[in-house]
């Protein structure tokens, strides 16, 4: 239903988990729609992150007026730094990351939570924003709120 444009508003909710290095080391909002499209290419070698970035920029998610994907949330109440996407989160973080652009939400989750609080290593996460035409330095102006 997402691909045919019959969905008006899409809210993308992901858990804060790790994944393979060439997928950025994370499985957050950008990867969340692999099952909406064809999940098989991300389980094969090669350009797996490119595939995720490609469908994340598709008309099915970014199309519509207003744009369908209106909100992205990463549930970081708990998170995992190892064990892959099927792991059970094992570290209490007490954080939520919320935004309207999945690339920025995922990038900031890595830079503000996964690396400093989980000590998790990551792959080429700068592509989360660069592939959409943004620069990492532009995210320095993003507002973070601690409650």
Over residues 67-117, the pLDDT tens digits come to 888 899 999 999 998 888 888 899 999 999 999 899 999 999 999 999 999
Question: pTM, whole model, 2 decimals?
Answer: 0.86
Mean pLDDT, all residues of the chain: 84
Structure tokens at 77: 């109440």
Q: Tell how strand 69-79 and strand 26-27 pair up.
A: unpaired
SS (HEC) of 33-69: HCCCCCCHHHHCCCCHHHHHHHHHCCHHHHCCCCCCE
In this prediction, residue 21 carries a pLDDT of 73
35 versus 9: the higher-pLDDT residue is 9
Residue 3 has pLDDT above 70, yes or no: no
CA distance linking residue 75 with residue 18, whole number of Å: 13
Least confident of 29-43, 100-114, 120-134: 29-43
Residue 142 has pLDDT above 90, yes or no: no
Contact 14, 74 (CB under 8 A): yes
Q: Which residues pair with 3 in a beta bridge?
A: none
């Amino acid at each position: 239903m997402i691909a045919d444009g019959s969905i008006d508003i899409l809210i993308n909710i992901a858990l804060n988990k790790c994944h393979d290095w060439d997928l950025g080391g994370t499985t957050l909002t950008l990867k969340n729609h692999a099952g909406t499209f064809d999940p098989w290419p991300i389980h094969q070698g090669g350009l797996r992150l490119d595939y995720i970035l490609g469908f994340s920029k598709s008309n099915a998610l970014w199309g519509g007026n207003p744009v369908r994907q209106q909100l992205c949330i990463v549930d970081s109440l708990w998170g995992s730094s190892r064990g892959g996407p099927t792991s059970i989160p094992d570290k209490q973080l007490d954080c939520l990351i919320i935004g309207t652009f999945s690339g920025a939400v995922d990038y900031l989750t890595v830079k503000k939570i996964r690396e400093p609080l989980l000590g998790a290593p990551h792959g080429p996460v700068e592509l989360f924003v660069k592939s959409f035409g943004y620069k990492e330095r532009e995210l320095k102006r993003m507002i973070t709120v601690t409650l």
